[in-house]
A and B are shown apart, each in its own frame.
Chain A
Amino acid sequence: DGGITQSPKYLFRKEGQNVTLSCEQNLNHDAMYWYRQDPGQGLRLIYYSQIVNDFQKGDIAEGYSVSREKKESFPLTVTSAQKNPTAFYLCASSIAAGTQNEQFFGPGTRLTVL
C-alpha cells in the first residue's frame, strides 16, 4: 500500500526539550511539506522540500528544523526555541513536476507541551 506515515500519533514534550516528528512516504514523490494546524485556523506551512538534500522555510519556520537526506523521509524537529509548540502537525507529499500540485497527507502527530 502506498501512502504517508507519521509517527508518533501523540507526543508529549517537556519545556526545554527538542522532539522529532517522523514522516515517511513510499509514493516516490519528490516534494514533501510540513504544516502546523491550530484550532480554528487553517494549515500553515513550516518547511518544504522539492528535492533530496534541499529544503526551504515556509511561513512559520522559526523554532523548527528539518532534514531531507532520503527521498522518502522528511523529519521535523521542534526545538526549545519554539515557544508555543502545542499543535497538530501534518506532513504531505506531492509530485514536484508540472503545475498540478495535489498533495497527499499523513494522519498527523498531535504534540502537547507539558
Chain B
Amino acid sequence: GEDVEQSLFLSVREGDSSVINCTYTDSSSTYLYWYKQEPGAGLQLLTYIFSNMDMKQDQRLTVLLNKKDKHLSLRIADTQTGDSAIYFCADTDTGRRALTFGSGTRLQVQP
C-alpha cells in the first residue's frame, strides 16, 4: 500500500528557517498537501502542490517537490513561535479519493 514518511521532530530558533521533509511511495499522486495541527485542534490546510510543479511559494512557505525521488519539503522562512505545531504531509490516494498522511513532524520554535 501507499506510505508517507516524515521525521518526527524538528527544533529551530525563532527567526531561522525550518525545513520539514517528507517522502512518499505512490508515483501516481496528483496533489500533495501540507497540513498544520495545533494542540487539541483539527488540521488546517497550509498549502498544496500539483505533481507537475517543482516549487510553489506562498508568503513564508515554500514547497519543493522532487518527483523523481518522491521527496516533498516544506520550508518556513522567519519561523515564529506561533509556527510551533505538528505538520503533516499527505498525498492523494487516487483510488479511494482519500488522503494518506505521514506521522507528522512536531516543530518546536525556541525564542
Residues of A bordering B, CB below 8 Å:
4, 6, 31, 33, 35, 40-43, 45, 48, 50, 56, 58, 90, 92, 94, 96, 99-108, 110
Closest CB in chain A relative to B5 CB, distance in Å: 10
Query: Lowest 7 CB-CB distances: which A-B pairs, in order?
Result: A105-B42, A42-B101, A105-B43, A42-B103, A43-B101, A99-B30, A107-B42
Contact size class for B?
20 to 34
Tell me the total A-B contact number using a CB cutoff of 8 A: 64
Partner of A106, one of B31, B42, B88, B98: B42
Contact partners of B55 in chain A: CB under 8 A: none
Partner of A40, one of B4, B42, B88, B103: B103
Contact partners of A40 in chain B: CB under 8 A: 8, 103-104
Per-position 1/0 for B44-64, Cβ under 8 A of A? 110010000000000000000
